[in-house]
Structure 1
Amino acid sequence: MSICKWIAAGTLAVVLSSGTALAQGNLDKLSSFQTTGVTEFTYVEQGGAKAEAIRKTLAGINLPDGFSIDLYAIVPDARHMAVGPQGIVTFVGTRKTEVWSVTDRDKDRAADEVKNFAPSLAKAIPNGPCFSKDGFLYIAEQNRVLVFPAAEFFYESPDVAAFNVIPQGELVPPEEESYNHTARVCKLGPDGKLYISLGQPFNVAPAEKLDKYKKWGIGGIIRVNTDGSDREVYTYGVRNSVGHDFDPETGDLWFTDNQVDGMGDDIPPGELNHQTAMGQHFGHPWFGGGDTRTNEYAGEDVPVEVVMPAVATEAHAADLGMHFYTGKMFPAKYKNAIFSAQHGSWNRTDPIGARVMVTFIDAEGNATMEPFADGWIDENGEYLGRPVDVTQLRDGSILVSDDLAGAIYRISYSAQ
């Protein structure tokens, strides 16, 4: 039976199918190209009062000269994004139970349709979508990774071709499943392997967990073949990374990391890290961020060689998604620069973050970060939006997701 509902926080009319239970068992059917019985989608209205309220906020966003920001799509709980190689659809993860497909059918650079993807599959924190160049969509959930071949084709149907890469319960041990720091992200590396971040669930990882976490890559970044085989830990000493990308010139991995809470307003710094070799260690839990030692391990010798961050960011700004810019729309100085999202502080006396940053890397590899788009914190210290991720459309504009406003913004450039 179909029912009508309204998505909270606006007047978004939707239609939700409940014909067949969205059970885990449907994955077996979809992997065998069988129908599940689910026939309808949840659709998100793209106009109305909510859209007008978002546009009012965007009128106050500060950008460099020549840049403009517009509402691209209303997407509830919008987190990390993956633009299809054909440019047909953008998939948007959430920290809840939905992945959204966003389509701009008339190519006016605003979405015509937003609907849930693969509604016959139950999902748990499907935060991290990423694409291979040949059109395979990977989605990293709390404790599994799925692949959807030809997702830009199959997304039009409630039933989609779907297969396990890492089955449920095998991304991390089931007893290590947590409600904290489990928003995974993924990216296909230049070696063709799939890189997946695994945040550790504590503020500071306890000593009794370290050996287990090292083995599994919890508090690090793992990589696997695209069929899930040959798992190995690529990165160690990470507290909770929710954004990574590869330098298009060198192939090096860069990633953001959220650092320790409870040490005060101004320490420790957040991090943008640059990894040049497999197995490097980035300091957690001995360091809380940058060269600031954690209280829990302050008296101990550091038993590993630590790579310090390429950029130490402002404390508690919460650096999340990031993307190397490879488009042709923006001025030449932005070529191969990193655009990254700061989600904003949750426990700082004076809020900070809630902005898009840009990082320039010079010929010697030195990185310098500065604000690119801000204004999502008003004069009362109230958040009007909280950016999560940055990605790029084929025309060279960039998209920014916002899980507070439930929206995706498009930033474009014109010399006029």
Structure 2
Amino acid sequence: MTLRRLILLSFISFPGLADTLPLDKLHLPDGYKIDIYASDVKNARQMALSDNGILFVGSREGGVISAVIDKDHDGKADEVLIIAKDLTMPSGIAIKDGDLYVAQVSQIVKYSEIEKNFRALPAPEVVIDGLPDKKHHGWKYIDFGPDDWLYLPIGAPCNICQTNGGDKFDNPEFASILKYNLKSKERVWVAKGVRNSVGFDWHPQTKQMWFSDNGRDMMGDDIPPCEINRVDDEGAHYGYPYFHAGTIADPEFSVDKNPEDYVAPAFNLGAHVAPLGIHFYHGDMFPESAQNNLFVAEHGSWNRSKKSGYKVMRAVLKDNEIVDYQPFIEGWLQADETSWGRPVALLTMPDGSLLVSDDFANVIYRVTYQK
């Protein structure tokens, strides 16, 4: 078993931890409050909300899909139910026209009429099959875009490698973001040269897609930065494995390559902070200053000598550019380098509150605002 695998397994926590979570250690801007929305949600990753308010939650190491039910709509779950298990890294989920879509490593499946059937799921329908089966960066974040196509990333099956024309991983689908028209079965490249994106969203006003990307390891503590990217032209190449963060040449793969041939990030983050879910806030509860802000879940580093990330950040945009990047929730990482939580994904609720999943503490948080 590799060192990376051992470290990742050590991040999986156990049921009951939520009863003793030190929420008082979390720091948010004035007026904001954070509470537990649901506990014992195994390895909570991406979330999707049904029309009638049932929250479905994917997992990665957990291999399960959970349903979270707030029966009395008081902002705290009354029931958490595992509805599917023994799946292969079902991290990404999405709901479309009442059906639940689940991303496993090599396929996307659909559970029809999920609100009607979630307590006794029928066999799923395979809607996309034959995706690469490599588990390294094989877990996915999925969603339907404003064009009703299903978007999904396929991470590089390595830390750093050539995936288009390489000897070992010769498959152009690796290190990219694709979109599928499920009716016509058409496939289109959204972005190429993307090492490992585990989160994307569309600006509520411009409908333009933004996505996170995790930078490569083993170049030191401080390079390369992780990235936030913007899709200006579908099919463009974002540099991996040749250049990182726009201009940092890879020592192995940048020979005879020009950084100007690739799209530079919209914004560079800290090295190894591991941005996963990114989410444009679009509710009515938060103040006007938070509208259309891009919230970023920095899951946190796994091999940096001094840990980084472990927080939710807020990116402020002006004229389609990030002009400020500030902490929104911090405190999961303590001064002694221990951590008790790792944020993953974000979701605006109908009442305007913001949910944050945590695959380490096995909980869903709910952030509210009051003047």
TM-score with structure 1 setting the length: 0.81
Other-structure match for 2:113? 150
Whose RCO is larger (CA < 8 A, sep 6+)?
A: 2
Q: Deviations over 1:219-277 (max 9, x none)?
A: 01011013471122221010000001111211211000001101111111000000112
Residue 271 of structure 2 aligns to a residue whose secondary structure is coil
Q: How many residues align?
A: 359
Other-structure match for 2:37? 72
Other-structure match for 2:219? 263
Structure 1 stretch displaced more, 215-224 or 391-400: 215-224
Structure 1 residues 297, 51: CA separation in 2 closer, same or farther (over 3 Å shift)? closer
Other-structure match for 2:345? 389
Query: Aligned equivalents of 1:367 and 1:413: distance in 2?
Result: 23
Q: Deviations over 1:303-336 (max 9, x none)?
A: 8821111110000100001111110000011111
1:343 Cα deviation (Å)?
0.6
Contact 1:80 1:94 in 2 (8 A): no
Please identify the structure whose Cα radius of gyration is greater. 1
Other-structure match for 1:377? 333
Do residues 310 (structure 1) and 266 (structure 2) align? yes
Query: Aligned equivalents of 2:270 and 2:261: distance in 1?
Result: 24
Contact 2:210 2:228 in 1 (8 A): yes
- Residue 90 of structure 2 aligns to which amino acid in structure 1? P
Query: Aligned equivalents of 1:137 and 1:392: distance in 2?
Result: 18
1:367 Cα deviation (Å)?
4.5
Other-structure match for 2:17? 50
Residue 314 of structure 1 aligns to a residue whose secondary structure is strand
Query: Aligned equivalents of 2:347 and 2:37: distance in 1?
Result: 13
State the identity as a percent: 37
1:139 is aligned, of 102, 105, 110, to 102
1:226 is aligned, of 153, 161, 182, to 182
Structure 1 residues 51, 96: CA separation in 2 closer, same or farther (over 3 Å shift)? closer
Q: Structure 2 stretches of 5 or more lacking a match?
A: 1-11
1:294 Cα deviation (Å)?
1.0
- Residue 159 of structure 1 aligns to which amino acid in structure 2? L
1:404 Cα deviation (Å)?
1.1
Do residues 252 (structure 1) and 218 (structure 2) align? no
Other-structure match for 1:110? 76
2:91 is aligned, of 127, 130, 134, to 127
Do residues 338 (structure 1) and 300 (structure 2) align? no
- Residue 122 of structure 2 aligns to which amino acid in structure 1? V
1:285 is aligned, of 222, 230, 241, to 241
1:211 Cα deviation (Å)?
9.4
TM-score with structure 2 setting the length: 0.91
Structure 1 residues 209, 391: CA separation in 2 closer, same or farther (over 3 Å shift)? farther
Other-structure match for 2:25? 60
1:300 is aligned, of 256, 259, 273, to 256
1:149 Cα deviation (Å)?
2.4
Q: Deviations over 1:327-384 (max 9, x none)?
A: 0000011111111100101111111100001111102534432211000011201111
Other-structure match for 1:97? 63
Residue 228 of structure 2 aligns to a residue whose secondary structure is strand
Other-structure match for 2:148? 192
- Residue 48 of structure 2 aligns to which amino acid in structure 1? A
Structure 1 stretch displaced more, 278-287 or 200-209: 200-209
